[in-house]
Each structure stands twice: as structure tokens, then as C-alpha cells.
């Protein structure tokens, strides 16, 4: 019997290997940024954590710290986006500037960066959304295949979101 071997995904391997670095969560977040950019694509990439108690999101990573610095916080209003991404743990794809305008209060800043589509990929643990990977690019960039491709990267973020801050 002949066995067909599959090759390991180099980007997933790079992210997994970054978890062993002492420089956490920076090493993991930087590896995620590069891997997701290469595997899926983005102009803007952020990682958010969600606090159920306060109803706030906190940005823990950004590849564009000028307009979107780490440490930024925002209150999340209840609505279809929060119900899908936070409550049900479903990815959100916004394909056009109108989609982004309907969901994000900072849609003008997003547009100024040349972005008109988004993939918000929840990071889940024990039935709860702890955070999300947020990929933004030109209009029409993301589709359902990108959701499947992004899922392992999102879940590899989990240790950094569960670990207490140093």
C-alpha cells in the first residue's frame, strides 16, 4: 500500500514555531501578520480581544500602529455584527465600502488606507469569542475560502489571548 504524504503548510509551521519564543506575544503576533499576509492577504491587520464584562474591544496588535495603535479600545454596540462574530463565533466578510460603512464607525479611516473589504475571524475557546483577527484589503478581496484558510491562524492565536499579560 502506497501512502500519500501531505506537506506541512510553511506559514502554519512558522506561526506554531513562533509560540516557543520567549518574546511573547510579540513573536507570535508578528509571525501571524506575515503568515496571514502571505496566505490570504491584507493591507491592515489587527488583533482584538473582547471583554464580555465591559463590552469593549482592545487592540493588542496592529501592522499599522500610526492610524491603529495597539492599546486602542472601543465599546461594541449590540447588533448583527456583534451577534454573528462575538455571540455565535461566525466570521464576518464585508466585501465593499458600503458593507464597512454599515458596520464600522471608523469606515472613513479604513477607506483612507485603501481598504474596502474585511474579514473578521473570531478566536474561540470553550464556546466563547475571546478575540479576532481582522484583515482588511481592497474591495472584493475576501470570500468563504478565506474563512477556512484563516481559521487555523486564528486558533493559533489562542495561547496569547489566554495567557496573562507579562
CATH number of the CATH domain containing 63: 3.30.450.40
1 in a domain, yes or no? no
Per the structure, the count of domains in the chain is 1
Given a cut of 90, whether residue 146 has pLDDT beyond it is: yes
Burial of 89 (0-12, 13-18, 19+ CB in 10 A): middle
Q: Please report the sign of the dihedral spanned by the C-alpha atoms of residue 140, residue 11, residue 89, residue 83.
A: negative
C-alpha cell at 11: 506559514
Higher local confidence (pLDDT), 166 or 93 = 93
136 in a domain, yes or no? yes
3 in a domain, yes or no? no
Evaluate the omega torsion of the peptide bond into residue 7 and state whether it is cis, within 30 degrees of 0: no
Confidence grade of residue 160 (pLDDT, cut at 50, 70, 90): very high
> What is the structure's pLDDT at 52?
85
20 in a domain, yes or no? yes
* pTM for the predicted model, two decimal places: 0.93
2 in a domain, yes or no? no
15 in a domain, yes or no? yes
84 in a domain, yes or no? yes
5 in a domain, yes or no? no
Given a cut of 80, whether residue 110 has pLDDT beyond it is: yes
Amino acid at each position: 500500500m502506497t501512502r500519500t504524504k501531505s506537506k506541512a503548510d510553511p506559514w502554519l509551521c512558522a506561526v506554531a514555531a513562533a509560540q516557543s519564543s520567549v518574546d511573547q506575544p510579540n513573536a507570535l503576533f508578528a509571525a501571524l501578520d506575515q503568515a496571514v499576509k502571505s496566505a490570504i492577504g491584507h493591507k491592515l491587520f489587527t488583533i482584538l480581544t473582547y471583554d464580555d464584562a465591559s463590552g469593549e474591544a482592545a487592540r493588542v496588535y496592529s501592522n499599522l500602529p500610526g492610524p491603529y495603535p495597539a492599546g486602542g479600545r472601543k465599546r461594541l454596540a449590540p447588533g448583527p455584527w456583534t451577534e454573528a462574530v462575538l455571540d455565535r463565533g461566525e466570521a464576518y466578510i464585508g466585501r465593499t465600502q458600503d458593507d464597512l460603512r454599515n458596520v464600522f464607525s471608523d469606515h472613513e479611516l479604513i477607506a483612507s488606507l485603501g481598504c474596502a473589504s474585511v474579514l473578521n475571524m473570531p478566536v474561540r475557546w470553550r464556546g466563547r469569542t475571546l478575540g479576532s483577527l481582522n484583515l482588511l484589503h481592497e474591495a472584493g478581496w475576501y470570500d468563504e475560502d478565506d474563512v477556512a484558510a484563516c481559521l487555523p491562524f486564528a486558533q493559533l492565536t489562542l495561547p496569547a489571548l489566554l495567557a496573562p499579560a507579562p
